[in-house]
Amino acid sequence: MKPPRLTRTGDAAPPGIVHFGPGAFFRAHLAPYTDEALQAAGGDWGIVAVSLKSPTARDQLAPQGGVYTSVALAADGMAPKVISAITDVLVAPEDPDAVIDVLADPAIRIVSLTITEKGYGYDPATGGLDPAHPDIAHDLSNPNFPTSAIGFIVAGLEVRRQSDTPPFAVLSCDNLPSNGALTRAVTLDFARRVSPDIADWIAAEVSFPSTMVDRITPATTDANRAALVDLTGTMDSAAVFHEPFRQWVIEDDFPTGRPEWEAAGAQLVRNVEAHELMKLRCLNGTHSALAYLGYLAGYETIADTVANPNFARFCEVLWREEITPTVPKPEGEDLSAYCATLMRRYRDPAIRHRTWQIAMDGSQKLPQRLLGTIADTLAMGRVPHGLCLAVAGWMRYVGAVDEDGQPIDVRDPMAERLQAAGTVEALLAIREIFSENLVVQSDFRDGVRAAYRALERDGARATVRAFVAAHENGLANDQD
């Protein structure tokens, strides 16, 4: 006999938020924060979730009335909590008019996004709109029938402008540098290509707060779901599993109101930039470095990777010598303590965050997670050999063949082009990833070339071991 399905009890909160991208991270982060804010302070802040591509989230959540279980994983077991903040789920390709209608509703005061780097239709090398992006190109030609989040946002704002309705705030919750400013830039660029009037109105009236988000959310497995059934006695197709730790830093710029997220532990600040840079470089940067090199070394998860002492020391060298010197200290933070906490999180065996999962979409992630740090380190007169090794690891990974000659399932919007490039020089010539200003620096080029040759010759484990040994013997600094 099948266990009963999880279902909603009680009424849903009236909607005040539309969220694009109802995937696992949203359900592990923004939705629980909002749910707890509703429980603590009330308000009309239910969430209408919008899937831009797949009906999966709708098919999982709709039979449950929008509720699901958020499960914290720790060494001593699971801590489940039912989340009730989602009031409805729309699938944009099935009914784009319904999405525009809800965006035009005066009750909606915030539109939030977790659509990953590639969802913004921007050029990572410039930070501006990429008009050749397939979804953006479609929406510029068909602004009343959008497919992208940016296209929908502009279409919804145009209806509000025409009806003299105050705009919503646009809240990016993706791991992008200055994500509010970037979202504003691509939205305005898109809008200007559609109509100067809507662009001018957005520029004058719409707020784009920046955020810093953090919670490791590995892909859900069948074993996770089965363990949850054993624990709760109910079946939940939409459950998400994540680490206990979470952090959300938000620029407090919401002209028409917001939930009391601070009641759930969010940090509302005037400027997010230092917190964001800390997380983007210290966590996301080392996550990517460990993902590519760890995958090549045969490790399935980050916890498996840092269980190798050489990889753990490699990560600590990156933080101490190459990353934190480029990060201004955020208010109320201790960078050394922050990195020590990151290592404890990485080591947690209950969080099976797969290296393959983190390695996805590297062409979009590298400029923010690694290349900016490399540029800043070079500007300080130092050569970041460890980060050059991480870039070389990415280059080996996107070649789509591992160290045993087995194929790698590379998930990246540029996967075919990356694999066809085939050489370090050809990859460095891709301007969508590597800026001219970075590539002309011989220390960077030489560092990546040397690291790539070492990976080809010796493999990831031996190369990381040699890097750590050289650093501990003082040879790495001698190469600067």
Backbone angles phi, psi at 253, to 5 degrees: -140, 80
Is 104 found in the same domain as 28?
Answer: yes
Q: Are residues 292 and 197 in the same domain?
A: no
* The pLDDT value given to residue 155: 98
Determine the pLDDT at residue 476. Answer: 43
The number of beta carbons lying within 10 Å of the beta carbon of residue 382 is 16
Q: Are residues 337 and 201 in the same domain?
A: no
- Let me know: does 180 contact 210? Beta carbons within 8 Å: yes
Encoding tokens for residue 103?
């965006």
pLDDT, tens digit (0-9, with 9 covering 90-100), for 21-61: 999 999 999 999 999 999 999 999 999 999 999 999 999 99
Q: Which two tokens stand for residue 370?
A: 């690694």
CA separation for the pair 95, 342 (Å, rounded): 42
> In terms of domains, do 233 and 283 share one?
no
**Residue 331 pLDDT > 90, yes or no?**
no
pLDDT at 386: 97
- The alpha carbons of the chain give a radius of gyration, in whole angstroms, of 22
Type of residue found at 313: R
User: Given a cut of 50, is residue 5 above it in pLDDT?
Assistant: yes
Q: Is residue 374 part of a domain?
A: yes
Q: Can you give the pLDDT at residue 257?
A: 97
Same structural domain for residues 102 and 251?
A: yes
- Phi first, then psi: give them for residue 444, nearest 5 degrees: -70, -50
Cα–Cα dist 469/71, whole Å: 40
CATH assignment of the domain containing 78: 3.40.50.720
Strand pairing category for 240-242 and 15-20: unpaired
- Helical residues (DSSP H) of 206-320, grouped into ranges: 222-232, 273-278, 286-296, 302-307, 309-317
pLDDT digits (tens, 9 = 90+) for 157-197: 999 999 999 999 999 999 888 999 999 999 999 999 999 99
Of the pLDDT bands very low, low, confident and very high (cuts 50, 70, 90), residue 471 is: confident
pLDDT at position 175 is 87
One domain for residues 245 and 313: no
**2 in any annotated domain:** no
Residues 205 and 325 both lie in one domain: no
- The residue type found at 273 is E
Q: Are 218 and 291 in a shared domain?
A: no
Q: How far apart are CA 92 and CA 162, in angstroms?
A: 22
Q: Is residue 263 part of a domain?
A: yes
**Residues 459-470 pLDDT 10s:** 999 999 999 999
Let me know if residue 4 belongs to a domain.
Answer: no
7 occurs within a structural domain: no
Are 281 and 265 contained in the same domain?
no
- Given a contact cutoff of 8 angstroms between Cβ atoms, the answer to whether 366 and 176 are in contact is no
Tens digit of each residue's pLDDT (9 = 90 or more) over 255-264: 999 999 999 9
In a domain, residue 1? The reply is: no
**What total number of domains does the chain contain?**
2
Where is the domain boundary, 247, 269, 291?
A: 269
The predicted-structure confidence for 193-238, as pLDDT tens digits, reads as follows: 999 999 999 999 999 999 999 999 988 989 999 999 999 999 999 9
Burial of 350 from C-beta contacts in 10 A (0-12 / 13-18 / 19+): middle
Q: What is the mean pLDDT of residues 272-294?
A: 96
Residues 240, 369, single domain; the answer is: no
353: left (phi over 0), alpha (psi -120 to 50) or beta: beta
pLDDT of residue 475 exceeding 60, the answer is no
Lowest mean pLDDT among 36-45, 323-332, 449-458: 323-332
Q: Evaluate whether residue 183 is within a structural domain.
A: yes
Q: State the average pLDDT for the chain.
A: 95
Indicate if the pLDDT at residue 125 is higher than 80: no
Q: What is the CATH number of the domain that holds 422?
A: 1.10.1040.10
Report the relative pairing of strands 211-214 and 247-251 from DSSP bridges: antiparallel
CA of 20: how far to CAs of 102, 152, 173, 183, 476, in Å?
12, 10, 10, 13, 45
126-138 residue pLDDT tens = 778 999 999 999 9
Provide the total of helices (H) and of strands (E) in the chain, helices listed first: 24, 11
pLDDT for residue 124:
72
- Percent of the chain past pLDDT 90, that is, above it, reads 90
8 A C-beta contact, residue 372 and residue 281:
yes
Structure confidence at residue 31 (pLDDT): 98
Distance of CA 173 to the CA centre of its chain: 8
Residue 300's CB is within 10 A of a number of other CB atoms, namely 14
Torsion sign, CA atoms 457, 461, 464, 467: negative
Pairing state of beta strands 46-51 and 15-20? parallel
Query: What's residue 177's pLDDT?
Result: 82
Across residues 2-16, what is the average pLDDT? Answer: 93
**Which structural domain range is residue 142 located in?**
15-269
Based on the domain organization, do 308 and 425 belong to the same domain? yes
Task: Give the percent of the chain with pLDDT over 70.
Answer: 99
Give, rounded to a whole angstrom, the gap between the first and last alpha carbons of the chain: 66
What's this model's pTM, rounded to 2 decimal places? 0.84
Q: What is the pLDDT of residue 126?
A: 75
Domain for residue 191, yes or no? yes
Residues 6+ apart with CB under 8 A from 230: none
Asked if the model's pLDDT at residue 141 lies above 70, the reply is yes
- pLDDT-based confidence at residue 121 (cuts at 50, 70, 90): very high
What's the pLDDT at 76?
Answer: 82
Helical packing angle, 442-458 and 372-379, nearest 10°: 120
Mean predicted confidence (pLDDT) in 271-286 = 94
Q: Which of 269, 288, 321 is the last residue of a domain?
A: 269
- Tell me how far the alpha carbon of residue 227 is from its chain's centroid: 27
Angstrom distance (rounded) from CA 352 to CA 367: 26
**Contacting residues for 332 by C-beta, under 8 A, at least 6 apart:** none
Last residue of a domain, one of 269, 294, 313: 269
- pLDDT category at 369 given cuts 50, 70, 90 is very high
Question: Residues 460, 461, 466, 467: is their CA dihedral positive or negative?
Answer: positive
Nearest 5°: phi and psi at 165?
-100, 135
227 & 339 share domain: no
